[in-house]
Amino acid sequence: MAENKDEYRKPRPAVSALNRPYWDALRRHQLVLQRCGECGMRWYPAAPLCPRCWSRRIEWAPASGRGRVNSWVVFHQSYFRGFDADVPYNVAEVELEEGPRLLTNLIDVGNDEIRAGMEVEVVFDDAAPDLTIAKFRPRRASA
Amino acid sequence: MPLIEIKDRAAIAGVGQSAYGRRLMRSAIDLGADAIAAALADAGLKRDELDGMIVTFGTPIGADADTLAQVLNLKLRAYSQTWAHGRFTASAIQWAALMVASGMANHVACLASVSFSGLRRPVMGGAGDSEGAREAGGSHGEDPVFGMTSPGAGAALVARRYFARYGATSALLAAVPMAFRKHAALNPAAIMREPFSVADHQASRFVCEPLHLLDYCLINDGAACVIVTSAERARDLRQPPVYIAGMQPLPAGREEFIWAYPGFGVAQQAAFDYDAGAQPVYRMAGVGPGDIDALFTYDAFSILAWMALERFGFCKPGEAAAFTQDGRIELGGALPMNLNGGLLSEAHIMGWNHQVEIVRQLRGACGTRQVAGAEVIQWANAYGDSLIYHR
């Protein structure tokens, strides 16, 4: 968080025609997932059609931003210069209430305090002027 | 009914390898040439009799099939090559078996040659992470935005979920790399031959926690090759044939994650209680897990051995942690695994070094690490493919 946000040095997302709405929504501090207009399925990552019924009647719709930690790892080795100062840092797989799982970094929690099933909520990290990333933190008592 | 009955119709007639080493500073083409020449000599085949080739790991780490054919001045009627991953070993042998069964080629060299020391920049893990840059993400779960990179991180994600779901521990997982290291100690070609203890394993640094350095395979240089031909032809060649009795192809889909069987519940897999049921490879070969004299598996990371054991029904989900204790997977145990030392201790030749060892075990040629009376040996992987060989 101490880094100069004008010189963002971590890897940037591979934004494509498929996933651009996801990244654009994050900049508005919205977490969105695709939803099938036929069968209602939600999924991640972005796809051109519903993985279940192949309908192309799909839309981007808000997600709750709530989920649980499904698994996690802690990197003790830096592979990217932009992460050098963060080691050891966590990467978690969060299962959203809607079902899909997102990879993310957990904040406001020590790496040794992370537990499977821990309830978490999205935090919008304005990492650079043109980039917002969905991170997660332990869910706070009923807001 | 299948168009071709393939059981026992194809065989391995020759095996060969180059030197294996951490930093040989030799090119992948150079190493590949050694392995191919050694395999042909082992089979008693002349260069011009080699008319097919399948390479599973080419540019930028390995040598490509077309280049090898040019450099070695081969006359290939048929060749193919997979996207550069270690997972395609069984696929290559299966396709080669179909090639010889259908007459598309008579003698097919299947191999990978790797020269990690010749790499100018990382391609798996890190700034040059080609997997992470892939549309819809990396095949081992890579997502560089969050610093998630390298195949080992995907395996660590599986290990953590396994520990959390079944109460297993890193200290129990140590039994896997310790067993393979003991086997490597008996293998002069192995790069890492010094046995270690659970305490050594626990004291080795974390790379991607919960996996320690000793849960990670080697990164090295080397090549290994097998020659697939028809069973009939193999009987006329120099070595006793090793027959391919069972084949199970490589699955893909939303319920598959490279390092976990369906139902395990990582990436976008549904979470449910997996039941190995009757895996097709056993039906085809006419044997069951209880008939397997030795098991070989793609052990890029120690946890993959647990996933393979459970996927193929050697034990139930959650039981591999206990199953692998007390020497059961060591030479002399009920199910010895990776007698060559595996990717964890012999060398990382994308699983081709395991095929070479399987063939030598079935020939009874492995000296102090020979599984006495080995007749049926299986190659079976966390990602679901398999081969069953017999002598």
A72 and A127 within one domain: yes
Torsion of CA A69, A75, A80, A86, to 10 degrees: 80
Cβ(A91)–Cβ(B146) below 8 Å: yes
Chain A residues with CB under 8 Å of B137 CB are 45
B225 and B193 within one domain: no
Compute φ and ψ for A106, nearest 5 degrees.
-90, 135
Instruction: Write the DSSP string, A34-75.
Output: EEETTT--EESS--SS-TTT----EEEEE---EEEEEEEEEE
A119 and A105 within one domain: yes
Percent of chain B with pLDDT over 90: 91
pLDDT digits (tens, 9 = 90+) for B343-365: 999 999 999 999 999 999 999 99
B193 and B301 within one domain: yes
In this structure, is residue B48 part of a structural domain? yes
Sheet containing strand A32-36, edge to edge, reads A42-43, A32-36, A58-62
B62 lies in which domain range? Answer: 10-120+221-241
In this structure, is residue B2 part of a structural domain? no
Is ipTM strictly over 0.90?
Answer: yes
Q: d(Cα B287, Cα B293) in Å, to the nearest integer?
A: 11
In this structure, is residue B132 part of a structural domain? no
Q: What is the DSSP letter of B247?
A: E
pLDDT digits (tens, 9 = 90+) for B66-107: 999 999 999 999 999 998 899 999 999 999 999 999 999 999
Chain A nearest-CA distance from B157, in A, is: 6
Chain B residues with CB under 8 Å of A18 CB are 135-136
In this structure, is residue A6 part of a structural domain? no
B378 and B256 within one domain: yes
Q: Of A46, A73, A80, which has the smallest distance from its Cβ to B209's Cβ?
A: A73
In this structure, is residue B150 part of a structural domain? yes
A120 lies in which domain range? Answer: 64-143
Q: Of A12, A51, A73, which has the smallest distance from its Cβ to B153's Cβ?
A: A73
The number of domains in chain A is: 2
**In the listed set A25, A42, A63, which residue is the last one of a domain according to the structure?**
A63
Cβ(B296)–Cβ(B354) below 8 Å: yes
In this structure, is residue B140 part of a structural domain? no
Q: Which H helix or E strand runs over B223?
A: strand B221-230
> Which CATH number goes with the domain that contains B350?
3.40.47.10
Q: Of A45, A72, A103, which has the smallest distance from its Cβ to B160's Cβ?
A: A72
Q: What's the pLDDT band for B124 if we cut at 50, 70, 90?
A: confident
What was the pLDDT predicted at A141?
72
Q: Which two tokens mark B159? A: 């290990």
A43 touches chain B (CB under 8 A): yes
> Which CATH number goes with the domain that contains A129?
2.40.50
Cβ(B382)–Cβ(B298) below 8 Å: yes
A70 touches chain B (CB under 8 A): yes
A77 and A59 within one domain: no
Q: How far is C-alpha A22 from the chain's CA centre?
A: 10
Nearest to residue B17, comparing CAs of B45, B1, B41, B53?
B41
B297 and B317 within one domain: yes
Q: Closest chain B residue to A48 measured between Cα atoms? A: B136
Chain B nearest-CA distance from A104, in A, is: 6
Q: What's the pLDDT band for A142 if we cut at 50, 70, 90?
A: low
Confidence check: pLDDT of A79 > 70: yes
B82 and B187 within one domain: no
Residue type, position A22, single letter: Y
pLDDT digits (tens, 9 = 90+) for B130-188: 888 888 889 999 999 999 999 999 999 999 999 999 999 999 999 999 999 999 999 99
Nearest to residue B340, comparing CAs of B355, B328, B362, B324?
B355
pLDDT digits (tens, 9 = 90+) for B11-63: 999 999 999 999 999 999 999 999 999 999 999 999 999 999 999 999 889 99
The number of domains in chain B is: 2
